[in-house]
Structure 1
Amino acid sequence: MSTTKNNTYDSIEKKQIISTATGKICADLVFKHATYVNVFSGELCTSDIAISGQTIVGMGSYHGLQEIDCTGKILLPGFLDGHIHLESSLVSPTEFAKAVIPHGTTTVVTDPHEIANVMGTSGISYMLEATEGLPLDVNFMLPSCVPATPLDESGAVLYAEDLLPFYKEKRVLGLAEMMDYISILDGENHVIDKITDATAFGKQIDGHAPAISGNDLNGYVAAGIGSDHECDSFESALEKLRLGQYIMIREGTAAQNLEALMPLLQEQYASRCMFCTDDKHPSDLLEKGHMDYIIKKAIALGANPITAIQVATHNCAQYFKLDKKGAIAPGYDADLVLIDSFEHFQIQSVYQKGNLVYDGNEIVPFAKPIISQELTNQAHDTFHVKPLTTDDFMTENPCGIIGLVAKEIVSTNEGLATAIDLTQDILKVAVVERHKMTGHIGIGYLKGYGLQSGAVATSVAHDSHNIIVVGTNECDMAFAVQKIIENKGGIVVVEKESVLAELPLSIAGLMSEAPLSEVNALLEAAKDKAIELGVSKSIDPFMTLSFMSLPVIPTLRLTTKGVFDVTTQKYI
């Protein structure tokens, strides 16, 4: 369509909006007698809310082709998740949308960092196609650190020139969490070029700097980093907020920071805050919810309900320059959530761009996005590993012992071991490179996992997503890894070379094609089997394991090259 035709269409639509707003013509949809949260004035207002097509056009007294009586209920802007990795849900974007829409989420900002580490730019393209046209606005921040560190062996390495073409995409809002703050402070070209490009396009740049402070933080912020979601204390968050960063208050599956950051939800700070989940696993989505869970928890912890709504909607939209999102006002997208009250917070219905997407009982059916055959084939062919045997996991050399910390993803240095010792809870752990058939296998030992028999393996191994396996014997370890390869990814629990439980994740070894409820059932069954084999109940068998291969978190980690001391930056 030519620019002239586009302008003509926009003019007709604009005239329709103005005529509806002024009452000259009937609205498409009117929420009658609606008590709604005004995010600008911080109050509850009451009026009719008129919708024309996808747009809110006015509040006052209106009549519509369809009218909904909202007496006794509260109308809210649709909720926004400021930072999430969709892959963490372990299901396709379509299934993710089905899960979160009933919880009032109408917009998310995703970082396809996980699939990009497996597939490179093709992974980004896959997620763009897999989210196109969903009744959930999925916006993107481009992965800034693929791999997370040069120590990783990922499926791809992304440079600034690789990301550049994606900035033309309307749904690309900027550069995702910049984890490599050391390279920024050192002025390394490979990260400075990425920041410069994002700035040139007028895009936002998200941060990831849990330990940075003082002059280093000044340098990090001065580089153009506009936000941070890695704040686990009020003091660290306030230091960043005072320097102008937006604080993403994270309440996800792996990390929950809301309680610690509750002091931010007061008038003098709240306008610089937004909510995010970072990661949401199937059980959390099914049992707790999504953004509605965070809002309800914030209110229960003492937050002003209107403040909580502002943080969950308008603040996030403002930061990401989503100028038509996050408010109930003329000219804004008709993304709306109707609830019964702040006390019970039961969602009655959800509208996305003026269309009913959840009626209070079930989601309105929608068409699944079409993904090109080439990208589909690539996403289902990401394992390139030579056949493995028990001997591949044997070593007589002393290897580092990674000590687990209950309910944390940090680890401790527990010395060296030369063999498995179940009496001391010392297990063998290995990371198998699976992208380029290098044959690299890093071997170490793990203490605190608790396994007494068999082996556990997964291809969800942050951030490069090689295969990580822990076992009481090398035979079961080899068998578990081979099963992961056969399934084209996923999670397995084995004993005596027999599969006790498995969850195939055939999309890049990260996501399943199955419905969320089915994926959750398989995941929970696998957890149960792992616990039956002795895994400590104080840890998540798979999530804990998945972080043991990420060499940016202290103290010890395991890469495809062996046990690495993050604090000394040396292999043991």
Structure 2
Amino acid sequence: MDNEEPYISAVGANLTPNADQLKLLRNVALGEVAADLIIENVRVLSLATEEILHRKVAIANGFIAAIAPVDHPFCAVEHFDGADCFLAPGFIDTHIHIEYSLLTPGEFARCVLPRGTTCVLADPNCVGNVLGVRGMEWAGKTTTPLKILQQISHRIPRAPGLELGGATLAEAEQLEFLDSAEAVGVGESVPFGFDDRAARFQAAALSMGKRCTGHSARVADELLWAYAATGVSDDHNAVHIDEVLDRLRLGQMVTVMSGSMNDNLPLTFAEPELLKGAYRNFSFCADDKHVGDLVKSGHIDHHVRSAIANGVPILEAYRMASYNPACFYRLDHVIGQIAPARRADLLLIPELEKVEPAAVWVDGIQVAHREQGVSEALFQNEDVVPEWLYNTMHLSPSFGETMLRVQAPTAMSGEVAVVRAMEMYDGYFKRAFEVELPVGEGNVLADAEIDVAKISIVDRHHATETASSGFVRGFNLKKGALAATTNCENQNLVILGTNDADMALAGETLATFGGGYVAVAEGKVLAYLKLPLAGIMSDESWEHVLQKSDEVNIAAASLGCEMEAPFMILAFVGLAGVPDLGLTERGLIDAASQQFVPVVVCCRCPQHIHDLSK
């Protein structure tokens, strides 16, 4: 068999050294062949032993050949003086949807590599819901130095009976993706239901030695136990100490999330003394993080800083960012630690608490540096964007105000109706409640005075008239409308508004762009961000996207919505896999039962007054 080809599709087989490289590494370690690079005079973080060692590191052909005492004589083509700084393994994000950064994989790499992220475990669920197999394949590749491994989406669409969705991923296609070296396991499943197809998929992953990752939606007791019993061994929804300990005791990896909607780090590590025996079962993820938050607060570097600030020992925090996830996902033979035969993905860090890499290497090549307080990539994004990523926005020709209405039980004006609504909290979690809303011309209306806006999900994949509307509290929208085509999970058009006219204008505006974000009020477009790639990503640089994202967020704030990430949270209002309620283009859904429920509960007219006692 050709030694360039992996024998099996084991996790990371595409990253391992071949026979010739192993011989080279041995000869470099013996001093018989010159290294490509020696990083001199560094304090190496030995995370397996939790030591800091004064060493030099020899690198050849992209791999670490040796870690030796500082006075050991090595020959090398190039020498780099580490100036007594710390040398850490590259950071790993263990669960992210790159699409929610609003960037292509190449621009995402330009943004996060200077901050120390050298590998991401990405779930291409978003682009998969729009473009299926070829979208997922495209999302897993980049010519930039970033390593992208994938968590294969549990099902696309997630709930065929509850949503029309966009693309469809066949079971055979799922399994083919899973059976590849680039696949680390199953993407996040939810604890509400487990049918034969899900069982077959997770059993296949386990038989391949791959992980089933989870999104527990903060369930507890029997539902959590049953969820773990399906082979799910990780969760990124646990926040409070009782939730965290429950999952650790079930043998799960707790993946601490810090994204645009919520930062779980302070609460998770609020009592670090209770977690001392379990630090090795923590890792970090961003999950869903806009470019603005990546730039302003950081990526996995933010996790490490915050963990240390909240009392986690320094070396444990660095383990959580590299060695722990590498071990958990069975990648520690290729990444996650500074050791021979591992990829030379390294961070030079002057101060461990600040987590500001002065230099970043991937496969032994310097790809980023930090000078005068500015972190910068030393490479360009040369990824080619295929034409088929454009023009994926297909609204019905009859789209307009009529499709957004919620019909009241009576056609009489001036009455009120009681509706089942959602209240946002802790990022994308939703609390069900009932509220009285005014009725006008036979339709239930939003009420900005009590912070209840209308929300509509509209099919934008098949040009059908499939659409549904409900009501939500928490955005504090005083007037106008916001809209996005990044609706989780099926990436339909989602519109939030105080009136149907502005909501319709918002949807029509995004249709002309091929997707994006928009804020409108009183018949005028205030700001927008174009996302023409599958309707969920920009084809511009991260710097441009940052600017336009800031503009549309400022416009949202001018309408009263002062959330830090209004469009990100808007994208998750409809998610039916998160309690209590969800909304798809087909209707309002009870998350626990995964069944449709009516939006209108009753009204105050005489023929329905008895319903109030039910």
Partner in structure 2 of residue 474 of structure 1: 500
Q: Distance in 1 between matches of 2:299 and 2:356?
A: 13
After superposition, residues 278-427 of structure 1 pair within 5 angstroms as 278-322=287-331, 323-361=333-371, 362-366=376-380, 368-370=382-384, 373=386, 376-397=387-408, 400=419, 402-405=421-424, 408-409=427-428, 410-417=430-437, 418-427=444-453
Partner in structure 1 of residue 521 of structure 2: 495
Post-superposition Cα deviations, 1:503-528, rounded to whole Å, max 9, x if no partner, equal 11111111111111211211121121
Q: Does 1:36 align with 2:44?
A: yes
Instruction: Classify 1:426/1:319 alpha carbon distance in 2 versus 1 (closer, same or farther; 3 Å).
Output: closer
Partner in structure 2 of residue 78 of structure 1: 90
Q: Distance in 1 between matches of 2:449 and 2:351?
A: 55
Deviation at 1:367, TM superposition (A): 5.3
| 2:217/2:578 contact within 8 Å kept | no
Q: Does 1:456 align with 2:456?
A: no
Partner in structure 1 of residue 9 of structure 2: none
Give the 3-state SS of the residue equivalent to 1:564 in structure 2. Answer: strand
Q: Distance in 2 between matches of 1:391 and 1:68?
A: 66
Instruction: Classify 1:234/1:501 alpha carbon distance in 2 versus 1 (closer, same or farther; 3 Å).
Output: same
Instruction: Classify 1:348/1:224 alpha carbon distance in 2 versus 1 (closer, same or farther; 3 Å).
Output: same
Deviation at 1:396, TM superposition (A): 3.7
Partner in structure 2 of residue 191 of structure 1: 198
Q: Distance in 2 between matches of 1:354 and 1:170?
A: 22
Give the 3-state SS of the residue equivalent to 2:114 in structure 1. Answer: helix
Q: Does 1:26 align with 2:34?
A: yes
Instruction: Classify 1:517/1:242 alpha carbon distance in 2 versus 1 (closer, same or farther; 3 Å).
Output: same
Post-superposition Cα deviations, 1:450-487, rounded to whole Å, max 9, x if no partner, equal 32332211111111121111223222211111111111
Instruction: Classify 1:440/1:163 alpha carbon distance in 2 versus 1 (closer, same or farther; 3 Å).
Output: same
Instruction: Classify 1:545/1:367 alpha carbon distance in 2 versus 1 (closer, same or farther; 3 Å).
Output: closer
Deviation at 1:70, TM superposition (A): 1.7
Partner in structure 1 of residue 144 of structure 2: 134
Partner in structure 1 of residue 464 of structure 2: 438
Deviation at 1:4, TM superposition (A): 5.9
Deviation at 1:15, TM superposition (A): 2.0
Q: Distance in 2 between matches of 1:4 and 1:283?
A: 44
Q: Distance in 2 between matches of 1:250 and 1:490?
A: 25
Q: Distance in 2 between matches of 1:38 and 1:381?
A: 48
Deviation at 1:407, TM superposition (A): 5.0
Deviates more, 1:165-174 or 1:19-28: 165-174
Select the residue among 97, 100, 107 that pairs with 2:112. 100
Deviates more, 1:540-549 or 1:351-360: 540-549
Deviation at 1:384, TM superposition (A): 4.5
Post-superposition Cα deviations, 1:206-230, rounded to whole Å, max 9, x if no partner, equal 1111334444434333322221111
Q: Distance in 2 between matches of 1:392 and 1:5?
A: 56
One-letter identity of the residue aligned with 2:350: D
Q: Distance in 1 between matches of 2:50 and 2:4?
A: 40
Q: Distance in 2 between matches of 1:403 and 1:221?
A: 28
Q: Distance in 2 between matches of 1:231 and 1:68?
A: 42
Post-superposition Cα deviations, 1:343-401, rounded to whole Å, max 9, x if no partner, equal 43331100001011013243112452345x4xx41554243432423333344425735
| 1:38/1:45 contact within 8 Å kept | yes
One-letter identity of the residue aligned with 1:415: V
One-letter identity of the residue aligned with 1:133: T
| 1:462/1:546 contact within 8 Å kept | yes
Q: Does 1:486 align with 2:497?
A: no
Q: Does 1:16 align with 2:27?
A: no
One-letter identity of the residue aligned with 2:576: P
Q: What is the TM-score when the length of structure 1 is the normalising length?
A: 0.92
Instruction: Classify 1:343/1:432 alpha carbon distance in 2 versus 1 (closer, same or farther; 3 Å).
Output: closer
Give RMSD over aligned pairs.
Answer: 2.3
Q: Distance in 2 between matches of 1:359 and 1:97?
A: 14
One-letter identity of the residue aligned with 1:14: L
Deviation at 1:201, TM superposition (A): 2.3
Q: Distance in 2 between matches of 1:408 and 1:51?
A: 43
Instruction: Classify 1:252/1:125 alpha carbon distance in 2 versus 1 (closer, same or farther; 3 Å).
Output: same
Partner in structure 2 of residue 120 of structure 1: 132
After superposition, residues 164-243 of structure 1 pair within 5 angstroms as 164-179=175-190, 181-184=191-194, 188-243=195-250
Give the 3-state SS of the residue equivalent to 2:344 in structure 1. Answer: coil
| 2:456/2:468 contact within 8 Å kept | yes
| 2:392/2:461 contact within 8 Å kept | no
| 2:62/2:363 contact within 8 Å kept | yes
Partner in structure 2 of residue 256 of structure 1: 263
Deviation at 1:88, TM superposition (A): 1.1
Give the 3-state SS of the residue equivalent to 1:239 in structure 2. Answer: helix
Q: Distance in 2 between matches of 1:325 and 1:47?
A: 19
Select the residue among 66, 76, 80 that pairs with 1:64. 76
| 2:529/2:552 contact within 8 Å kept | yes
One-letter identity of the residue aligned with 1:465: Q
**Structure 2 stretches lacking a partner, 5+ long:** 7-16, 410-416, 438-443, 599-614
Instruction: Classify 1:271/1:407 alpha carbon distance in 2 versus 1 (closer, same or farther; 3 Å).
Output: closer
Post-superposition Cα deviations, 1:248-273, rounded to whole Å, max 9, x if no partner, equal 12122223221222246854101111
Aligned residues with identical type, % of pairs = 28
Deviates more, 1:74-83 or 1:387-396: 387-396
Deviates more, 1:266-275 or 1:358-367: 358-367
| 1:407/1:539 contact within 8 Å kept | no
Select the residue among 518, 541, 566 that pairs with 1:541. 566
Give the 3-state SS of the residue equivalent to 2:202 in structure 1. Answer: helix
Deviation at 1:328, TM superposition (A): 0.7
Give the 3-state SS of the residue equivalent to 1:331 in structure 2. Answer: coil
Partner in structure 1 of residue 604 of structure 2: none
Q: Distance in 2 between matches of 1:215 and 1:282?
A: 38
Partner in structure 1 of residue 60 of structure 2: 52
Q: Distance in 2 between matches of 1:268 and 1:217?
A: 22
Deviates more, 1:163-172 or 1:272-281: 163-172
**Structure 1 stretches lacking a partner, 5+ long:** none
Give the 3-state SS of the residue equivalent to 1:183 in structure 2. Answer: coil
| 1:271/1:311 contact within 8 Å kept | yes
| 1:336/1:350 contact within 8 Å kept | yes
Partner in structure 2 of residue 553 of structure 1: 578
Q: Distance in 1 between matches of 2:568 and 2:389?
A: 25
| 2:99/2:127 contact within 8 Å kept | yes
Q: Distance in 2 between matches of 1:274 and 1:541?
A: 27
Q: What is the TM-score when the length of structure 2 is the normalising length?
A: 0.86
